[in-house]
Chains A and B, each alone.
Chain A
């Protein structure tokens, strides 16, 4: 399962 990596840093 490809968990979409959410990047919360700028």
Chain B
């Protein structure tokens, strides 16, 4: 474990907590893409299948349980409890265009052709594009609540911090995982224009408004 990975995990944890607070406090999931949340739940389910078979540490297990529970819980809140506030009309990104290519790619490009490893690879590829429905929705509505933009900033930062973790591990541990690194770079790059808007607008107290 290193400071970059810990900061990344805490940023990821913060993002999920911010989202849960937003939905619970406002009792609404307006502006949030349910499709992205479904993809995140799939990411965690396919990645953490080794929850019971491969014990790394108490921290690792606790975080996996929290990520699994919170992502499934968020989908429940959005599609059942606060279903009436879910904005179907703007959450229209075709997620089959994300699921199929990532599934095929994980069958072709992986470290080991085994069920667990292919599911882990699929999860890594899917996570790199899972935010697209949410970014698409923000561009369609043209704006986002400030709490939603804080959520996106924390979520985008987590994988950016992981890139620093991979650089650290390469130089100090001689470890690197090219699949996670490439997917992590793609994932972080997808946030770049949002990061620009967040830093130039939201941090100055303005609302996140995309140029129409």
Contact = CB atoms under 8 A, between A and B. Distances in A.
Interface of A: 2-10
Interface of B is mostly: helix
9 contacts: A2-B114, A6-B54, A7-B177, A9-B162, A9-B165, A9-B177, A9-B180, A10-B63, A10-B64
Nearest to B12: A10
Contact of B67 (A4, A8, A9, A10): A10
Interface of B: 5, 9, 12, 50, 54, 56, 60, 63-64, 67, 111-112, 114, 116-117, 120, 162, 165, 177, 180
B175 to A, nearest CB: 9
A5 B112 contact: yes
Contacts, number: 29
A4 B112 contact: yes
B50 to A, nearest CB: 8
Nearest to B56: A8
A3 B9 CA distance: 27
A4 B114 contact: yes
B111 A5 contact: yes
Contacts of A9: 5, 162, 165, 177, 180
